[in-house]
A and B are shown apart, each in its own frame.
Chain A
Amino acid sequence: MGKLKTQSLQKRHSDLANTNKQLEILSNGIFANGELPTFKNKISETSQFPLKAKALEILQINVGYMCNQVCEHCHVDAGPDRKEIMTKETMQQILDVLKTTGAHTLDLTGGAPEMNPNFRWFVEEASKIGVKDFIVRSNLTIIRANKKYYDLPEFFKKHNIHVVSSMPHWTRGKTDKQRGEGVFDMSIKALQELNAVGYGMPESDLKLDLVYNPSGAFLPGDQMAMEKDFKKALLEDFGIQFHNLFAITNLPISRFLDYLIASENYEDYMYSLVEAYNPAAVENVMCTNTLSVSWDGYLFDCDFNQMLELPVNSKAKHISEYNAELLEGRNIVISQHCYGCTAGAGSSCQGIVA
């Protein structure tokens, strides 16, 4: 892979590495002067405030912020310089909780989750417990990054992992612009290797889904139409097959917020999100059935709140304190970034929601 696209905000010592600064930006300006309604006011119009957590369905675990890539728009501010890595002890606490919950989905993310030294142990132990849908969010290039990762497709297959991978576009230029030089070619190779062991094939139970998120300051188009275009191009150009495409909206936080401000697109982007607000998407927004666990075991309503350091509004704040009764019915913590999940057909880690 070529040179990294950028550096993490932390490494750049950017003001935005401070989450309070990000939250301040999201609350000031056009939202403070009344030009645009705050998210709280918007959902109050349709009596959807406060958003309440339902029963837990998806347990999403961020096993660390370390990544072999430094994508331009990463909401995690991940990169090779990030040293936050989940310990085996925290993983064990999660396994203990997993045994007791009715969650049907376990969703591992990062960073590049495979870079956690205890990743394989965790996958093996979690798969013994058995969840209906066991997702690993793989950036694809990690499979080709080092010899020690070459067998990941076989490892995923052995544990019937549902692989979900990012792919911003079916063309090299747009993909490399967002994710770094050489990422496209490596991702294509990795997808071909996943196909070779049976992932993504039409009749295969080995699920391979792709995540599309826009490469710039615009919202994703229709998920079905995009999926059709992706499938046609990847099959014709590279013989690659996959199951579903999830269209995900970029939320205005972390490196994407930095990009929006630097490119003078912030206000227009927020207008686009607010104009595309869809109350039907609020009904199924992912924070109401998900818990996000950070590398150090703390609980959040979603991965975005985790990155903004907005903890759950509950007495149970850490995985070691997990208590379904305390967490169900909690008020979801919101700010203006939440408009990202309610625009158009909505957006979640599983794609559209409305």
Chain B
Amino acid sequence: MSKTYYDPADLRKFGKITEWSEELGNKFFEYYGKVFEEGALTSREKSLIALAVAHTEQCPYCIDAYTKDGLQRGVTKEEMMEAIHVGAAIKSGATLVHGVQMMNKVNKLDG
């Protein structure tokens, strides 16, 4: 077995988390399933949101899962990449907007 933290085959075992805490695990999967059902948003839109969040969370399992899910729903690679850019823009925006805090501090200390 390779000495890495992540094994792609572990994604298939996700359901096994219920074995060590059945009630909470089942409640989580029930909630998870419900979230991705067709609602005010289509399942396709939800899949793209999940893909963007998978990248901002940098979760390799989620990236594998929602890339495949997108392909299954007919999502194109251009749509996937745009969704990731939305996530990236929010991540970088979230970093940069703290620049105002830095500016406030500079102005207070050295204005």
Main secondary structure of the interface of A (DSSP, over half): loop
Complex Cα–Cα for A220 and B74 (A): 8
B74 touches A218 (CB 8 A): no
Please tell me which stretch of B23-31, B65-73, B93-101 contacts chain A, meaning at least 4 of its Cβ atoms lie within 8 angstroms of it: B65-73
Give every chain B residue within 8 A of A219 (Cβ-Cβ). 72
Query: What 1/0 mask marks residues of chain B from 25 to 67 whose CB sits below 8 Å from any chain A CB?
Result: 0000000000000100011100000000000000000000000
B72 touches A221 (CB 8 A): yes
A226 touches B74 (CB 8 A): yes
Contact residues on B (Cβ < 8 Å of other chain), bracket: 10 to 19
* A229 on interface, CB distance cutoff 8 Å: yes
Partner of B68, one of A169, A174, A212, A218: A218
Complex Cα–Cα for A221 and B43 (A): 10
B73 touches A225 (CB 8 A): yes
Give every chain A residue within 8 A of B44 (Cβ-Cβ). 225, 229
B76 touches A218 (CB 8 A): no
Partner of B71, one of A214, A222, A230: A214
- B79 shortest CB reach to chain A, Å: 10
B72 touches A225 (CB 8 A): no
Complex Cα–Cα for A225 and B42 (A): 9
Main secondary structure of the interface of B (DSSP, over half): helix
Q: Nearest residue in B to A168 (C-beta to C-beta)?
A: B74
* A155 on interface, CB distance cutoff 8 Å: no
Give every chain B residue within 8 A of A221 (Cβ-Cβ). 72-74
B38, B43, B72, B76, most chain A CB atoms within 10 A: B72
B43 touches A218 (CB 8 A): no
* B12 on interface, CB distance cutoff 8 Å: yes
* A20 on interface, CB distance cutoff 8 Å: no
Give every chain A residue within 8 A of B42 (Cβ-Cβ). 225
A225 touching B68 in the complex, CB below 8 Å, given contacts A169-B74, A171-B76, A271-B12: no
Give every chain A residue within 8 A of B71 (Cβ-Cβ). 214-216, 218
Residues of A participating in the B interface, judged by any CB pair closer than 8 Å: 169-171, 173-174, 212, 214-216, 218-222, 225-226, 229-230, 271, 275
- 17 pairs of residues in contact across A and B, judged by CB atoms under 8 Å: A169-B74, A170-B74, A171-B76, A173-B76, A174-B76, A214-B71, A215-B71, A218-B71, A220-B72, A221-B72, A222-B43, A225-B42, A225-B43, A225-B44, A225-B73, A229-B74, A230-B74
